[in-house]
Amino acid sequence: MKFIHKLTRYFMPNQELVGYIKNSLEQGVGKDEIRKTLAQVGWQMGEIDAALGMFQENQVKKYNYKLILGCGLLVLILAGGGFYWWWNGTKKSTPYSIKNSISNSPAVNTQSGQITLEEYVAANVQKYKLTKPDATETELADFAAKMREETTLEVQNLIATCSGLPTLVNSSQLNSAQLPANFQLGPVLAVDKAQTEMYAQTGFGDGCLYRTTDSGATWKSISSQEDVLVYLDQLEKVASDIATCSDIPESVSMTTVAFEGESAQSVFTTRVKPALMYAGIREGHCLYKSTDSGANWKRVNVNNVPVNLSFDNLVIDPDNSDHLYAVGGMFTPPKDSGEWDINTIIESVDGGVNWQPVIIDGLQTTNLSLGSTGKVAYATTKFETWKKSGSGYDGVKTDYYLYQSQDGGKNWNKVYESLGAANNKANQCSYSNIVVDQKNPDIVYAVCNNLNKSLDGGKTWDVILQGDDSKKQYVPTDLIVTNGLLYGVNPASGIDRFFRSADMGKTWVIKNTGFHVYQITASRSNESMIFATDFDNNVYVSKNSSDSWNKINLPVKLGSNDVISGISFHDASQTLFIGTNKGLYSIAIQ
């Protein structure tokens, strides 16, 4: 359901997301590759891992389960520890305990009351104006009309699902034979500090909505539009609270650890200002900046950033460290497109304070890569054709395109007609990882089922490494291009191998690492020095271009439920920065 999709992405996996994962698993796609694909199109790691966690252990490899479990627990902690995932595939799960859920449910400090449709629409129009201050009156009117129409239809459908279910349910009856076999109450949302008033659904994001006003003793189905809109309003407030940075210190000092107890999702080093660094904290919602090589961090008070944006996908202009792109922002597409919001690039030219969308032909952006200068940029996009189906829309066809900009993102030209088409040798590149040669922006690599290379800025392609999963002939899905070497790994393949090419992809040396590589990064000043993590929360360094590896002793003990979310080597200070769910750690490299 569209409005549920828009708001509950912060709390529970979306049906579309779950369906995609289920189909991919059935086709034999590894969970690592699924995570990478979904992250590239704008889904947050927390919601991806929550959805992946729905599927049985025997559907995923041991090392991936540990990562998923760690991320899932991290999301629950950040959200206040209040949502217990109850879904267990298509089987009926363990009886759900309302009392256990109540004990840790996040409370929204608000008066519930009632909200009319016009009040709800008006409030969302105001929020839209904040994200798009130059919107015309006509555009705002169209936005309001579309929201009014689709919200009405979707709320009616939600209420209609209650027609065959009991109007009133006692907690003592929840697991009784008197109720339908598939009747279960899902995650609970508390809307007052006393936790007397709460909401729960019988389906996974689209079932009948129930409310209790007596701390869960009795549950009554919601049968009015005004009451459903109150629930949606509470979801928005909780989402806003989760994304806030107000309880993280404005300034943070660092010795070997910073942001202790917080999730450090990402850390980025810059080239033109060696002492300048950026970090994404708390699931990437909060942006921090350091101007002294990571010794001290100060919060960036960002404006006009969508609440669901994550600074995990930050791209920094090689020529201007104040010029930033983030992949995964949201904007509202034209009327009758069949989508509420779609992912796009957002851009800042003042070091992350103010942001504005970069919309390429009205398409959804899945990836962005810059050349050796900020003038040349590549973006992969997708276009979905929809048809109306009842009160919603069904996808009919999806096309993927590669765009190039030669003026710093002001203008974009389509350079490859369709990355999703089976022509020009770059087929099956739906969510391609685009990597640009830092010496020559016309040399571009597209990581697909095969590894493809273009010598003319994406106009034509050649396959430089053939992939065949059935023969365990893999290509590197994560690629690093240095001055003279290509490095790559394939986390989803289950192999302990490292790819290296000294002739820009003509020939490859494939080394056995002895550990399953998850992430890699390389030194800019010494391309023979590489860093890697594995799925057991270990960090390694190679100083001879992957011929041998040594494990690095971490300043923190990470358990099986912890996760390393990002690594970055800072050349100016010869320091490795490691983002974890316990904070941001630094290690001096000798």
pLDDT digit string (tens) for the chain, length 590 residues: 333 333 333 333 344 466 567 666 766 677 766 766 666 555 655 567 656 655 533 233 323 323 332 333 223 222 332 322 222 222 222 233 333 333 344 454 444 467 899 999 998 888 777 767 778 898 889 889 988 988 888 788 878 888 778 888 888 777 666 777 667 777 777 777 778 888 888 865 567 888 888 888 899 988 888 888 888 888 777 766 666 787 889 999 999 999 998 999 899 999 999 999 999 998 788 899 999 999 999 999 888 666 567 788 899 999 999 999 988 766 555 545 545 456 778 889 999 998 888 888 878 787 899 988 889 999 988 776 766 666 555 656 677 788 999 998 889 999 877 766 555 555 556 556 789 998 899 999 988 778 889 999 988 888 888 887 777 788 888 899 998 899 999 887 777 889 999 999 999 999 899 998 989 999 999 999 999 999 889 999 999 999 999 999 988 888 877 889 899 999 999 999 999 989 999 999 98
Q: 3-state secondary structure string, 290-318?
A: ECCCCCEEEECCCECCCCCCCCCCEEECC
Count CB atoms within 10 A of the CB of residue 387.
10
Question: Can you tell me the distance from the alpha carbon of 210 to that of 46, in angstroms, rounded to the nearest whole number?
Answer: 26
Question: Can you tell me the distance from the alpha carbon of 413 to that of 379, in angstroms, rounded to the nearest whole number?
Answer: 10
Which residues sit opposite 330 in a β-bridge? Answer: 343
Domain ranges of the chain: 1-78, 93-243
pLDDT of 329 reads 65
| Cβ neighbourhood burial of 187 (10 Å; 0-12, 13-18, 19+) | buried
Question: Can you tell me the distance from the alpha carbon of 11 to that of 101, in angstroms, rounded to the nearest whole number?
Answer: 14
Question: Can you tell me the distance from the alpha carbon of 7 to that of 328, in angstroms, rounded to the nearest whole number?
Answer: 16
Q: CA dihedral in degrees (325, 329, 330, 331; nearest 10)?
A: -10
The DSSP 8-state label assigned to residue 140 in this structure reads H
pLDDT of 2 reads 35
What token pair was written down for 38? Answer: 């979904």
Q: How many CA atoms lie within 13 A of 575 on its CB side?
A: 22
Give the three-class secondary structure for 561. Answer: coil
> For 97, left (φ over 0), alpha (ψ -120 to 50), or beta?
beta
**Phi, psi of 480, deg, nearest 5:** -120, 130
Does this model's pTM top 0.85?
A: no
Scanning the structure block, which residue is given the tokens 């708001």? 7
Residue closest to 425 by CA, chosen among 459, 452, 401, 458: 452
The DSSP 8-state label assigned to residue 173 in this structure reads G
- How would you label 5-28 residue by residue, b for 16+ Cβ within 10 Å and e otherwise? bbbbbbbbbbbebbebbbebbeee
Question: Can you tell me the distance from the alpha carbon of 154 to that of 228, in angstroms, rounded to the nearest whole number?
Answer: 10
List all residues 6 or more positions away from 456 whose beta carbon is below 8 Å from its beta carbon.
442
| Residue count of the chain | 590
Q: Long-range contacts of range 520-524, CB-CB < 8 Å, 24 or more positions apart?
A: 520/478, 520/480, 520/487, 520/489, 521/480, 521/567, 521/568, 521/569, 522/480, 522/482, 522/487, 522/569, 523/569, 523/571, 524/271, 524/482, 524/569, 524/571
DSSP H helices, 2-97, are 2-8, 15-26, 31-40, 45-52, 62-78
Give the three-class secondary structure for 98. Answer: helix
List all residues 6 or more positions away from 77 whose beta carbon is below 8 Å from its beta carbon.
none
List all residues 6 or more positions away from 451 whose beta carbon is below 8 Å from its beta carbon.
445, 463, 464, 465, 467, 475, 476, 479, 488, 505
Question: Can you tell me the distance from the alpha carbon of 546 to that of 435, in angstroms, rounded to the nearest whole number?
Answer: 20
End-to-end alpha carbon distance in the chain: 54
Question: Can you tell me the distance from the alpha carbon of 394 to that of 380, in angstroms, rounded to the nearest whole number?
Answer: 23
Question: Can you tell me the distance from the alpha carbon of 288 to that of 310, in angstroms, rounded to the nearest whole number?
Answer: 13
Max CA-CA distance within the chain? 70
* Interstrand relation of 550-552 and 539-542 (parallel, antiparallel or unpaired): antiparallel
Residue closest to 473 by CA, chosen among 463, 462, 481, 482: 463
* Amino acid (one-letter) located at 331: F
